[in-house]
Amino acid sequence: MKRPVPRQPLRFSTQTLLLQLGVVLLVVLLSGAVHAWLTYERLGREAENQALTLARTVASDPTVRREVQAISREAGTPPASVLLTGPLMGAAEGARTRTGALFVVITDETGLRLAHPDADRLGEKVSTDPSDALSGKEVTTRNTGTLGPSAGAKVPVFGPDSDTVVGEVSVGYSTESIVHSLARDITPIALTAAGSLLAGALASFLLRRRLQRLTLGLEPEEISTLVHDQVAVLQGVDDGVIGVAADGRISVFNAAAQRLLAQPDLAGTPWEQAPIPEQLKALTRPDAAEADAVEIIAGARVLVASARKALHRREDLGWVVMLRDRTELQQLTRQLDAVGTMSTALRAQRHEFANQLHTIAGFMSIGQHQQARDYLARLAATGPLKFPVDQAELLQDPYLQAFVGAKGVEADERGVTLRIGPETLVRGQVTEPQDVTTVLGNLIDNAVNAAVAGSAEDRWVEVELLDEPGPDGGTLHVVVADSGDGLAPETAAGGAEAVFGEGFTTAARPARAAGGQGLGLALARQLARRRGGDVRVLEPGSPGGPGAVFMATLPRTTADLPGKDKLIRNDSLIGEERDV
């Protein structure tokens, strides 16, 4: 047995159209009916007034008054044949014929007909109650009598020489004539109603089209589901989502985007006027490639941004910009690099110390005490590690020793000598290794790249570090110079600030999108300024060398070592013993 196919419910826009058409039709019908009823009532009142006027005219005719009084004084009522040819019948029929009334009836004081359009009804009592008129009152009525429904009036007939009521005149106009008049008047009403219905149908159709366009053809249930899904997705993801409507205004700015860009909810703000990085706005311009993602600096964060065109069928909905945070990944990478560097340094130091202790033990076992003392003096002068860094013994902080030593190994592999400047003096201990790693590492890497690309045969990079104590933590000053060819002339002519722009790189190959190049100096300056410091160019350098000189100031990155004064005194005593 074949199952019946369930009927698909009407679409919301179709339901809305039908509902609107029904409302318009109902309003038009009600308005037409009320107007027709009011017109009918007006025509009925006009007929009543016309009947009242005619009845007054007939009742005030001296002949009618005299003849009615005469008949009323006689005993009995004249036969119908006499009344048919009498003056009352002539006056009543003449008035009816002239005015087109349905009837003009004249009665005596008892309600017997003295004049009537139907001769067979003469001498009979009227079918409607004449008591009001016979009591001296004028009344208008709508009754159904022997001649059919009518709108009329009843007026008393007074005697010619007294105020005594001797009869009454009843005049009526057929309601069929009222309907015919209404039919003539209803034509403009019908045309107006038809025009209103047509205009309402057209407006409903246009509203349906607009509703479909605004809702993208979606049903209310689908829109509700989309809203719930949108809220759940936008507020539940860690990626920043920015929606730019087709009219150029921000329609979506989720919590993650607010956090990553350090901005309040910018929904409703024009996209081109929003306080966001210019690189994001460039992604949505017509000449931008959709597939390209770019890395930008926002505050202290490194973000990967991409943009996609949003289309529904053939309708342009605008743009969707996605933001992903790479800051934590880069921080983790730097931490792992630092840990790896420190681990390597500690293993090398442990191995070196073991060899040194074995050597000292050997001297002592064979009684060569003076050679053991000389060996210890040489160790104190050269430092504990053998990294390829000139004057590495000037660094007292183990973290800086390990980090600069690791950079020295990398530089040495590229044919560049890394050396510590003679003015280096770091008496405190580094307390913010991540920021120091980022700034110092970027400056050293850029200097090594510049030295490799330079024209000088003797390739070197010199680093000077100096800490300055402070109440809230010491300030680390870093100066990095190299043997390269300096900044490009066009860059140096612009005040050297272009090197801190996103996308600038000293690498031989140009920076590629989302490749991590071109962000080092910009990120270093952002981190330094976030701490209240700065990174700037001291010297732009010159072709043939020496190269550019960069200086970084990093407040609150060092702390005084406990017992520092005692260590200084011990160092002085050791120096005095050496002199002796």
The length of the chain in residues reads 580
Q: How many helices (H) and strands (E) does the chain have?
A: 16, 17
| Structure token pair of residue 142 | 């709508």
* Secondary structure class of 57 (helix, strand, coil): helix
CA distance 519 to 164: 121
CA 471 remoteness from chain centre = 48
Q: Which residue has the tokens 């044919």?
A: 415
The pLDDT assigned to 79 comes to 83
| Whether 536 contacts 453, CB under 8 Å | no
The answer to whether 477 and 468 are in contact (CB under 8 A) is: yes
Q: Where are the alpha helices (DSSP H) in 300-429?
A: 327-365, 369-382, 398-413
Note every long-range contact of 387-393, with CB atoms under 8 Å and residues 24 or more positions apart, other chains counting: 388/412, 388/417, 388/418, 389/418, 389/419, 389/420, 390/417, 390/418, 390/419, 390/420, 391/419, 391/420, 391/421, 391/422, 391/424, 392/420
CB 200 within 8 A of CB 28: yes
Burial class (CB in 10 A: 0-12, 13-18, 19+), 26: exposed
Whether the model pTM is above 0.75: no
Burial environment of residue 470 by CB neighbours within 10 A (0 to 12, 13 to 18, 19 or more): middle
What does the angle CA 107 – CA 110 – CA 114 come to, to the nearest 5 degrees? 25
| Phi, psi (rounded to 5 degrees) for 165 | -80, 120
To 5 degrees, how large is the angle CA 492–CA 493–CA 499?
40
- Dig out the tokens for 558 from the structure: 């060092």
CA distance 352 to 362: 15
Kindly give the confidence (pLDDT) of every residue in the chain, 580 residues in length, as a single tens digit, with 9 standing for 90 and above.
455 555 556 666 677 777 777 887 888 788 778 877 887 788 788 888 888 999 898 888 888 888 888 888 887 778 887 888 888 888 888 888 888 888 899 888 888 888 888 888 888 888 888 888 888 888 888 877 777 788 889 999 988 877 888 899 999 888 776 677 666 767 777 787 778 778 877 887 887 788 777 776 677 777 777 777 766 666 667 778 888 888 888 888 888 888 888 888 888 888 888 888 888 888 888 766 555 677 777 766 778 888 888 777 777 778 888 888 876 666 666 667 656 655 655 665 666 677 778 788 887 888 888 888 887 777 665 555 556 677 767 777 878 887 888 788 788 888 899 998 888 888 888 888 878 888 888 899 889 988 998 888 889 999 999 988 888 888 999 999 999 888 877 665 555 676 776 555 555 444 433 344 456 787 788 888 888 899 988 888 888 778 889 999 999 888 886 655 444 434 433 333 333 2
Distance of CA 153 to the CA centre of its chain: 72
Tell me if residue 316 falls in helix, strand or coil.
strand
> In 3-state terms, what secondary structure has residue 474?
strand
**According to the model, what pLDDT value does residue 388 have?**
66
Residues 253, 255: Cα–Cα separation, whole Å: 7
